[in-house]
Structure 1
């Protein structure tokens, strides 16, 4: 029993540290790609203290609740946005025997809980009594409804190929020759996950230049920091899920399994940051068209291809 508790604590601690590392990495990658000098100065060598400076900045800001806001909903919305992603992390394996909770229906559990996180943005938008926040919340709801379908269909494809809904079971069943014929599902899953996280170029619910910060417009201090943390935890969740479902998780030559998992996760996190730096924001009509006219048909085609391969093999 003690070993189980210690394993749970260690795995949870690792998953809580990873979002902070990815947040720091984003500062550095964007600084290099866009010649942003600021993040390179805090603390001296290569701006090592930038993350600490950001934390201190959020902590010292005043916690303001608008007079017209629904106070209770306004205050709990950041927690609703963050907690589901933290819950999901305990069901994702780092290595063959390194998973906090091994569920037989792990994939179903993960996809169901991930959808709850978006409710935090919808609650924040509605409760803020701000027209920009309401518009951002409506966009979040529309984006969730559009991109949840291709996300689930792509995940169903790899579950069908493995013959199980257990995430460790999917990794165990995974073979290297899956890479080419599951590639479409992997791309669809990754892009749909980015859209659900509202990461650029799918950040229409936030759109700083248009609706300020969308659902987060009225938030300050640590509550705003929780929204930011939920975004980075979401990146970790998406990168881990893409790794264990489509890239073989801990499988790989020479290196320890957990190290293979982390290498793949950090590569995918870099791709997330690279997309933010490289591509402009989509218009709302383009975003919806991409979901319904491109990703949904591709995910259905991937599902049909998986069925054919399963029958033939």
Structure 2
């Protein structure tokens, strides 16, 4: 780490605070689901309705009886579904809320990337375990999308780490005291958000749960199984939006409000943009996006890392 960039001091809170972190994550996930429902209702001409739709859907799914097809691997199916929700909690563990964090890991950026790679296995298990053609097709679609977004996402995560001289998430936030990384790392920021929508199986990357394959990996899920996988998608979207704050948006930096409040405000803004964009972008065909990812996104991410490296070397 360069001498001119001192290590950021974070306070690691007791494990009991994980309950509060889980509540905040669930609140952000519910906000994303409610906003998505409200925008859908508005697009269908239903006025202001839709904000409470996630609550009614939760109640309905909790009362719904679980069902599976013949010879389904129930264990794999439920591990894949529930793992989405668990993975989002693991991701939040390394995100500082102002000066507080659950886990101040020296390799926090790598931890984030490791958890997002887990989604590959989780979505695949949900599709494979259902013993359904539609679920299997959905799983294959997600893997094809993953091949296109994952490597550019890895290189996009490298850019803030190079600039901060550290893989600690707190150091990346502390290195932006004068200029947020999003200003001079726009390509990395955009590619990062593309990766977030990718591992959240969201928006342009929703082909894995497409209506043309009867819901894909969701086709045979019902009751609690369907609820936790859907909640996991929104929770991952919220966790990815939250991670962009210390990585690109200055962490808790901002006037008047306390640091933790700025983290929440910035997260809500990024999350709202991601939800809004779902209706503005078409669903990407996996085969075409695979070419775009390797031909456009990957070189752009590498070029961004090169620019950041040159700036760091120039500054000494």
TM over 0.5: yes
Tell whether the 8 Å contact from 2:148 to 2:289 is kept in structure 1 after alignment: no
SS at match of 2:282: coil
1:201, 1:275 within 8 Å by CA — same for their partners in 2? Answer: no
Instruction: Give the one of 66, 69, 84 matched to 1:66.
Output: 69
Change in 2 beyond 3 A, CA 1:51/1:284: closer
Shift of 1:266: 1.0
Any residues of structure 2 matched to 1:154-169 within 5 Å, and which? Answer: 154-169=156-171
CA distance, structure 1, for counterparts of residue 26 and residue 276 of structure 2: 23
Q: Is the 8 A contact 2:160 2:181 kept in 1?
A: no
Q: Which moved more, 1:280-289 or 1:269-278?
A: 280-289
Superposed displacement of residue 305, structure 1: 0.3
For 2:146 and 2:286, locate their aligned partners in 1 and report how far apart those are by CA, in whole Å: 13
TM-superposed CA distance for 1:22, in Å, is 2.0
Tell me, in whole angstroms, the C-alpha distance in 2 between the residues paired with 1:74 and 1:4. 33
SS in 2 for 1:312: helix
* Residue equivalent to 1:16: 26
Cα distance in 2 for partners of 1:273, 1:117 equals 20
Structure 1: state its 5+ residue gaps: 41-46
Aligned mates of 2:260, 2:40 — CA distance in 1: 27
Displacement of 1:286 in angstroms is 2.4
Distance in 1 between residues matched to 2:182 and 2:116, nearest whole Å:
25
| Alignment partner, residue 139 of structure 1 | 141
Displacement, 1:6? 4.4
Aligned to 2:39: 29
1:53-76 residue CA offsets vs partner (Å, 9 max, x unmatched):
111111111100111312321232
* TM-fit CA distance, 1:115: 1.2
Secondary structure of 1:203 counterpart: helix
Task: Note the 1:48-197 alignment, pairs <5 A.
Answer: 49-96=52-99, 98-174=100-176, 175-176=178-179, 178-197=181-200
Query: Structure 2 CA distance, aligned partners of 1:110 and 1:176?
Result: 23
Q: Residue 35 of structure 2 contacts residue 51 of structure 2 at CA under 8 Å; is this kept in 1?
A: no
TM-score (norm 2): 0.90
TM-score by length of 1: 0.91
Whole-Å separation in 1 of the counterparts to 2:133 and 2:203: 22
- Relative to structure 1, the CA distance from residue 248 to residue 177 in structure 2 (aligned partners, 3 Å threshold; closer, same or farther) is closer
Contact 2:116 2:199 in 1 (8 A): no
Distance (Å, rounded) in 2 between the aligned partners of 1:75 and 1:38: 37
Shift of 1:7: 3.2
Counterpart-to-counterpart distance in 2, 1:38 and 1:130: 38
Contact 2:163 2:308 in 1 (8 A): yes
Distance 1:48-1:25 versus aligned 2 partners, 3 A rule: closer
Q: What corresponds to 2:241 in structure 1? A: 239
